[in-house]
Amino acid sequence: MSRRVEFAKMAAAGNDFIVIHDAGGRWWSKGAELAVSLCRRRFSVGADGLLLLRAVEGEEIELAYWNADGSPAELCANGARCAARFARDAGISGDRSILRTGSGLVAAELLAGRVRIEMPEPRGPIPHRIDAPSGSVDLFWLHTGVPHAVVLAGAISEWCFEELAPFVRRHELWGREGANVDLAHRTGDRLVMRSWERGVEAETHSCGTGAVAVALAAARLWGVESPVSILNSLGETVEVTFLSNEKGFFGVFLSGSVEEIYRGSIAVDRATVIPRG
């Protein structure tokens, strides 16, 4: 007999996720397997990653995230924003919640159709210069819940993203875990970015922790001031706000739109979606 699981397909600023309320913890130990099965585009639901959540105590919600390849990540910021919206809509929490993630507690709040989260205290930006096949590349390393390597360029066309992003992602400087890679440039009063994510191992349309990394790197290099509006490849915008002093950045928030696309149930062993009304 097929095992079935109910889920919601959600999107935040271009990232899409499968969200499951795993109240009894049935799927928690099978998260990696489930992510690989369900996130395969054209063969299953398809998504950038899988989110499992369950209420633990008070306003706290335990949240776990796996990339599409089954690898876990301490935090997915856009995923966390989807989880907060899902939890409110499902009656698990109110407009405010505390998400217990691998990067620590993340406060979330729903505000007039947008979801804002308070990010873990960042580390960096730390400047580096690496030798790539096409020449030297100046970039910043930051940890905004997960590691990022950020390249700030005069124009995105100056950097062959598809060629260099995989090289930078696995550069020896970042150790075994590697780093997500973000490329950004300024246009008017906004930053425009592209992201190459670990676990997806491809360009994604958006990355919340990457948007935060880009904003902080731009503040360090270009003197960009809070709030920072960041546009992704789909034309979706997120906003990053922050405070800073001589020691670095703190009080960092990420906000943007979240949508529920549909809900359904799936036979896990067959990966066949059966929509619910």
pLDDT digits (tens, 9 = 90+) for 129-176: 999 887 888 999 999 999 999 999 875 555 678 888 999 999 999 998
Instruction: Give 143's strand partners.
Output: 123, 147
At 271, which amino acid appears? Answer: A
Q: Rounded to whole angstroms, how far apart are CA atoms 221 and 34?
A: 41
Output the pLDDT for position 135.
82
pLDDT band at 272 (very low <50, low <70, confident <90, very high): very low
Q: With pLDDT > 70 as the criterion, what percentage of the chain qualifies?
A: 94
The one-character DSSP state at 75 is -
Question: Do you know the residue count of the chain?
Answer: 277
pLDDT at 200: 86
In tens, the pLDDT along 16-55 reads: 999 999 998 889 999 999 999 999 998 899 999 999 999 9
pLDDT digits (tens, 9 = 90+) for 173-207: 999 889 999 999 998 889 999 999 988 888 988 99
Domains 4-113+259-275 and 123-254 share a fold: yes
pLDDT recorded at residue 270:
52
CATH number of 4-113+259-275: 3.10.310.10
CATH of 123-254, one of 3.40.1160.10, 3.10.310.10, 1.10.260.40, 3.90.1720.10: 3.10.310.10
pLDDT bracket for residue 274 (50, 70, 90) = very low
104 has pLDDT over 50: yes
Which among 204, 157, 214, 197 is positioned nearest to 71, based on CA atoms?
197
CA separation for the pair 211, 27 (Å, rounded): 30
Parse the chain into domains and list their residue ranges: 4-113+259-275, 123-254
Q: State the average pLDDT for the chain.
A: 91
Percent of the chain surpassing pLDDT 90: 76
pTM as predicted: 0.91
Of 88 and 3, which is predicted with more confidence? 88
Query: Could you list the active site residues?
Result: 76, 207
